[in-house]
Amino acid sequence: MYAALIVIVLAGLAGPLISVGRRPFAPAIVGEIVAGAVLGRTGFGIIQPDTSDNQFLFALGFAMLMLVAGSHVQIRGPALTTGARSACIAFGVTALLAVPVGIALQAWAAPEAPVALFPVLLAGSSAAVAFPFLRERRLIGPQIALLIAWIPLADAMTVLLMPLTLIGASSIPLALAGDALIVGGTAGALFAGIHLQRRGWALALRDLSRARGWALQLRIALVLLIGLSLVAGQTGGSTLLAGFGAGLVLARLQAPERLEVQLSGLAEGFFVPAFFVLLGSELDFRALGADPRAVSLAFLLALAALSIHLIAARVAAPRLWQAYGLAASAQLGLPAAAASLGMATGRLTPSIAAAIVAAGCLTVLPASLGTSRLAAGLSGESSGGSAVGGGDAGT
């Protein structure tokens, strides 16, 4: 067990290694997936993703990934309010365009795949990928109101819908009941947190935990995450929704910086890299290379996602629409989850699953380029005396 674990941890270091420097070669996530592929089924077969230990680590890593994504979403605030209307327009346009384009791609390249899967993937965005880019470019607040609202909206909606496209029709009612329980549990945790966080005894316990190093807030966050994930596992509900909901609770309760550091160390230092390494080890990119239609599908999915988001941004935000559209097109967490679930349920072939992940990887670089152009555009307008406000950014 320990030998396999150290291999996974060392493979995860490939991510930071390709991301060093002012102009990194690729995001860390891509390096972790590639390292897993080299050591897994595509390459040397050193990492065995099917063992019970690795399956447990994979599931927990995915839940932690979605928790981090949800914790990046501010469900209240002036930026979200300002951009809400434009975000709804942008997501509506992407959804309308994604349906015919996704169905056409499915019919041409993957007739054995579920019909509804590709439209859901094309309409999505990835807070876990896009928000770190925004933070790196120091893009915060009302000036990017559209993205702050659009990306979480697309992320949340597609996170809810995607698993339903990959399970059998007979399993959908129980899965929907599980999702309802997860939403109810999230709402209950949020209600309890809001009412307890200012109580005297709660504040005293928090201070005592800080003084004695108990990390009580981290433990409570993990209990919430694992509890919601347990509901998902028992009912067939969405683990994506469970992790995302736990992250939303932390974001709404404005978790202190100390808790954010603890979660970052636990999730991004170990569990999330392990998830992407194991995902890469599970994918068979040799099968992708042997299937010309799957290779074409990877490029067409990425191109379609970019085009759909650019058109939606043109409608919702005429100013700097290219930058907004590219930034919102980032898709990696959802395609990774779809590939994993699709192979587990037998609904996706290895080559199609690899194509979906490859398409997600292809959207990461344009998203990084979009945030860079957005930072340059807003900086130029600001230095030129133009007002940079939430209303302009979101209309």
| 368-381 residue pLDDT tens | 888 888 888 877 66
- Determine the residue type at 353: A
CA angle 76–269–374, rounded 5-degree value: 50
The CATH number assigned to the domain holding 102 equals: 1.20.1530.20
Residue, of 137 and 369, whose pLDDT is higher = 369
Q: Give Cα 14 distance to the centre of its chain.
A: 20
| Confidence class for position 128, pLDDT limits 50, 70, 90 | low
Is residue 137, in this structure, part of any structural domain at all?
A: yes
Residue 96, both tokens: 């309308």
Burial class (CB in 10 A: 0-12, 13-18, 19+), 105: buried
Quick one: which of 5, 2, 25, 4 has its CA closest to 14? 25
Q: Give Cα 255 distance to the centre of its chain.
A: 20
Do residues 134 and 371 lie in contact, with contact meaning Cβ atoms separated by under 8 Å?
Answer: yes
Dihedral over alpha carbons 244, 250, 253, 257 (to 10 degrees):
-150
Give the separation between CA 322 and CA 51, rounded to whole angstroms: 44
Do residues 110 and 352 lie in contact, with contact meaning Cβ atoms separated by under 8 Å?
Answer: yes
Distance from first CA to last CA of the chain, Å, rounded? 54
Please report the DSSP string for 72-86 in residue order: T--SSSHHHHHHHHH
Is residue 178, in this structure, part of any structural domain at all?
A: no
Is residue 31, in this structure, part of any structural domain at all?
A: yes
Is residue 42, in this structure, part of any structural domain at all?
A: yes
Residue 272, both tokens: 């999330």
Note down the domain range covering 42. 2-171+238-393
Most confident of the ranges 20-29, 213-222, 246-255, 305-314: 305-314
Is residue 302, in this structure, part of any structural domain at all?
A: yes
Do residues 68 and 50 lie in contact, with contact meaning Cβ atoms separated by under 8 Å?
Answer: no
Mean pLDDT of 333-352: 85
Q: State residue 143 phi and psi, 5-degree precision.
A: -65, -20
Is residue 186, in this structure, part of any structural domain at all?
A: no
Q: Please name the residue that has the structure tokens 């569990």.
A: 271
Give the separation between CA 41 and CA 357, rounded to whole angstroms: 15
Do residues 267 and 290 lie in contact, with contact meaning Cβ atoms separated by under 8 Å?
Answer: no
Q: Strand, helix or coil at 395?
A: coil
Is residue 185, in this structure, part of any structural domain at all?
A: no
CB 89: neighbour CB atoms within 10 A?
18
Give the separation between CA 330 and CA 124, rounded to whole angstroms: 8
Q: Strand, helix or coil at 112?
A: coil
Average pLDDT along the chain:
82
Per-residue pLDDT tens over the stretch 265-300: 888 888 888 988 988 888 888 888 888 999 999 999
Instruction: Specify the pLDDT at position 288.
Output: 85
Which pTM was predicted?
0.74
Instruction: Specify the pLDDT at position 256.
Output: 64
The total number of structural domains in the chain stands at 1
Instruction: Specify the pLDDT at position 73.
Output: 63
Beta-carbon contacts of 112 under 8 Å, excluding residues fewer than 6 positions away, are 349, 352
